[in-house]
A and B are shown apart, each in its own frame.
Chain A
Amino acid sequence: MDIQEILRTHKQKEVPQHLQTRMDAKIDELFEQKYNKPSFVSNFKWQLALGIFVLGIIAGTGILTVSRKPASKTLEAVNTIEIGKESKLSFQFFSQDDMKDIVFNINLPGGVALASNPQKKDIHWKGDLVKGKNVICIYVKAQKEGIWEVAAQLQTNGTILKQFKMPIVIEKKG
């Protein structure tokens, strides 16, 4: 048994198609941000300097007081995706013990498609949960504008353990 030969001939894993698509979109985004970003600062340099100067005077004279109280945070209740873009949906749950034979069903609404297989609307995952935090993720692609809801259920032996409803807003580009 030649260990090096076994390893040398071991089949390489192929990069999943959905990851290539995701990477392609990410590169477009990176180049857009770096090279085509409209430079607000360079276009309005003197206006910006004047604004800061005037604001400084106002603040200095006490006309304007700025509250130091932190702004209240609003939780992002929905995922917003641009049409044509891919996004990761994560379903998280905490299990008090290791659990076997778990079925997780996800139903995608009309405006959302599975990134790796756009025709597939119902996704079923069978497996075990470990004690503690568990995360199941899928990559989806936004297809149609609107407010949609992804429904998911965690089941074992026909009993529903948990139900998820994840709202998704799909917006037009720009």
Chain B
Amino acid sequence: MENQKLVDKAKKGDKDAFKELVLAHQARLYNLAFYFTKNEHDASDLYQETWIKVFEQLNKYKYHQNFPAWISQILRNTYIDKFARKQSKKSEVPLDESIDILQSELTPLENSQKLENEAFIDKAINCLPLEYRETVVLIDLQGFSYEETAEITKSPTGTVRSRLNRAREKLKELFKDFDRYHK
């Protein structure tokens, strides 16, 4: 069902419609939260807090707005308001007690290499300053347009373009050190 219809139903108290919205956008929002906070524990908190705000602000959502961009903007604002300050003050050790076992057709060696590559990409992205990181994640990982990214990050489109170019350049440099990507 379309976002608009689900939002309408949720506004009228339809819990299942809201759950459907969460389900449809959970991966996008969780991944965005992960790249903002750089760890799973804070990402989980940011993710949950964002959905609570989405619920509280449903009446402010206008139908011409792009729903994924709107919720991404709420997540970004929540991160800046609460998590960015908190993260600069304390160091947190996440207890990673749930490591998913990946089912794949790769050999154990290929699988571990693939996981290593994925982890390397995450590390490289997380090395970027926030404004580059959010731009590259929104555009290259999540598929938002320049205009949508400009709206989410409250920046001019030209700034988004230049940040993206710089972020890609920086990542290119980081990836050069990683031999596995020279294939």
Contacts and interface: CB of A to CB of B under 8 A. Distances in A.
Interface string A152-174: 00000000000000000000000
A138 B95 CA distance: 7
A7 B137 CA distance: 9
A22 interface: yes
A87 to B, nearest CB: 13
A31 B44 contact: no
User: Which of B18, B41, B48 lies at the interface centre, i.e. has the most chain A CB atoms within 10 A of its CB?
Assistant: B41
B6 to A, nearest CB: 13
Interface of B is mostly: helix
A16 B40 contact: yes
Contact of A27 (B18, B31, B44, B176): B18
Interface residues of A, number: 44
Contacts of B88: none
Interface string A27-45: 1101100110000000000
Interface string B1-22: 0000000000001010011001
Contact of B121 (A7, A28, A34, A129): A7
A129 B95 CA distance: 12
Nearest to A17: B98
Interface in B88-112: 90-98, 100
A163 to B, nearest CB: 17
A12 B92 contact: no
A132 B100 CA distance: 31
A6 interface: yes
B132 interface: no
Interface of B: 13, 15, 18-19, 22, 26-27, 30-31, 34, 40-41, 44, 47-48, 51-52, 55, 90-98, 100, 118, 121, 136, 140-141, 168, 171-172, 175-176, 181-182
Interface of A: 1, 3-4, 6-8, 10-20, 22-24, 26-28, 30-31, 34-35, 104, 114, 116-117, 120, 123, 125, 127, 129-130, 132-138
User: When A and B form their complex, which 10 residue pairs have the shortest distance between CB atoms, in order from nearest?
Assistant: A7-B140, A116-B98, A130-B91, A35-B13, A31-B15, A15-B30, A133-B90, A15-B26, A125-B95, A19-B44
